[in-house]
Amino acid sequence: MPELTMDKLVALCKNRGFIFPGSELYGGMANSWDYGPLGVELKNNIKALWWKTFVQERLDMVGIDAALIMNPKVWEASGHLATFTDPLVECRECHERYRADQIDLARPCAKCGNKGTFTEPASFNLMMKTWIGPKEDATAVAYFRPETAQAMFVDFPQVLNASRKRVPFGVAQMGKAFRNEITPGNFIFRQREFEQMEIEFFIHPSEWEKWFAFWRGEMQRWLGLCGIDAARVHDLEVPDGERAHYSKRTIDLEFDFPFGLKELYGLAYRTDFDLSNHAKFSGREKDVTYTDPISGEKYVPHVIEPTFGVDRTLLAMLVSCYDEEQAPTTGEGGETDTRVVFHFPKTLAPIKVAILPLSKKDELTSVARPLAERLAKRWRVEYDETQSIGKRYRRQDEIGTPYCVTVDFDTLNDSAVTVRDRDSMKQERVKLDELEGYLKNQF
């Protein structure tokens, strides 16, 4: 298969409506991306599957959806205000800024080519600042959350009370996080505004190794559900001194992106760092202390945190599921051409079914359009009556639609349609009144 370059992927995403450059009408805004009609479907499907897999299907999990902007004391307690920093250097000539840990400071500036001109590395805090209310002074400063995790710690006493869960149990949340990254880039890989899906799993401290291994297995299972190529995923045991300030053990799950091996997800043993710090800073120690209902033991639960980036999941899926194949055209002469196809898992594909009347004649569209409307009550459906059927199949392959349903002139006699499978390209004749049941079995 020809190499999938980022240029090719970015162009395809823009042309087909997965991901657009943000604010394009105004000349764009660097490193800002908008999810288009197909991208938003794919992203929503990923999030829905994650919630089903890790919240709905587990009796030991509950979810929350907390405010994006929390009391600023939260970020003091969590350590983010003091330590959530990257080392920043600036070229003295052209003032381009870099992360000191990502470049060789002995080499010339990549932008202007001048050598030995970098400033000394300085700690740069990644928190996105804002002001609450009409006064822009120090008393009004607040921060957009840099991770969804903290609300799950801060809400721990209320969740425990309301849900009547017993340790071990987990709290899950998904949503936006903001970081003032020094060097955003590589398409949606590193953004200043992105989405996370996170679990804080509360455990007895003696059981941390067991639960760490359990969640590593669950993360592996999740990769499979998303169609992410397991051969491209590698564990990185993050060494002492390089882990986040709260972690006693971290594994980064790295993915082999076209721009190199980079972090996809993380799994961390956060100990009782967060709960204990919130107890200290809020003065409410009693509220984060858990009493075991059987043994009566009182302790602050420890936490295993599997964390998943939504945007990086989507990017790893695009890379894993992309293919270019030689395939027969619909012509008579046995010719082949290149078909571009996304082999997304069927349940995650942005469009599940395309309804394609063979011609624009009323006889066919009067069957096809109501059929599309009926199926759209269940699945995301696309209706397309333009261009040759071969071109329409290729277009649907290119956006990963698992099934194309063709309404042709035979339909008027046999009340059946042709269903084409994206992956095998096999075609089957299915009775109109059996079509919904047929498709239901595929998803």
Chain contacts with ligand GAP (rule: CB under 6 A): 147, 149, 179, 181, 190-191, 194, 196, 198, 263-266, 305, 307, 309, 311-312
Judge whether 320 and 344 are in contact, CB under 8 Å: no
Name the residue nearer to ligand GAP (CB basis): 159 or 188. Answer: 188
Concatenate the DSSP letters of all residues of 378-412 into one string.
TS-EEE--SS-HHHHHHHHHHTT-SEEEEE-TTHH
- Which is nearer to ligand GAP, 233 or 430 (by Cβ)? 233
d(CA 153, CA 294): 24
> Cβ closer to ligand GAP: 146 or 400?
146
Q: How far is the CB of 220 from ligand GAP (least distance, A)?
A: 15
Q: Which lies closer to ligand GAP via its Cβ, residue 254 or residue 421?
A: 254
CB atoms within 10 A of CB 242: 11
Q: How far is the CB of 245 from ligand GAP (least distance, A)?
A: 11
Closer residue to ligand GAP in complex, CB, 310/439: 310
| Region at 95 (left for phi over 0; alpha for psi -120 to 50; beta for the rest) | left
Counting beta carbons within 10 angstroms of the beta carbon of residue 29, is it exposed (0 to 12), middle (13 to 18) or buried (19 or more)? Answer: exposed
List Cβ neighbours of 306 (8 Å cut-off, separation of 6 or more).
198, 199, 201, 215, 218, 219, 265, 266, 267
| Residue 401 φ then ψ, to 5° | -75, 120
- Whichever of 49 and 432 has its CB closer to ligand GAP, that residue is 49
CB of 176 to ligand GAP, least distance (A): 11
Under 8 Å between Cβ of 289 and 298: yes
Residue written as tokens 């932008």? 111
What distance in Å separates the CA atoms of residue 113 and residue 90, rounded to the nearest whole number? 13
Q: Which is nearer to ligand GAP, 312 or 422 (CB)?
A: 312
Residue 338 Cβ, how far from ligand GAP at the closest point, in Å? 32
State the DSSP string of 98-138.
EEGGGS-TTSPPTTT--SS-BPPPEEEE-PEEEE-SS--SG
* Span between the terminal Cα atoms of the chain, in Å: 28
318 DSSP 8-state letter: H
Nearer to ligand GAP, 181 or 272 (CB): 181
Nearest approach in angstroms of CB 253 to ligand GAP is 8
Residue whose CB is less far from ligand GAP, 45 or 307: 307
CB of 175 to ligand GAP, least distance (A): 12
Of 274 and 408, nearer to ligand GAP (C-beta) is 274
Of the candidates 304, 240, 296, the one whose C-alpha atom is nearest the C-alpha of residue 268 is 304
Residue nearest to ligand GAP (CB): 309
Q: What is the amino acid identity at position 150?
A: Q
**Shortest Å distance, C-beta 271 to ligand GAP:** 14
Find the shortest distance in angstroms from Cβ 281 to ligand GAP.
Answer: 18
Query: Is 198 or 397 the residue whose CB approaches ligand GAP more closely?
Result: 198
Q: 290 is written with which tokens? A: 């858990």
- Yes or no: say if 92 and 119 are a contact pair by the CB < 8 Å rule: yes
> Around Cβ 43, how many Cβ atoms within 10 Å?
20
Phi, psi of 342 (to 5 degrees): -100, 115
* Nearest-approach distance from CB 313 to ligand GAP, in angstroms: 7
Rounded to the nearest whole angstrom, what is the least distance from the CB of residue 198 to ligand GAP in the complex? 6
Min. distance of Cβ 330 from ligand GAP in angstroms?
A: 41
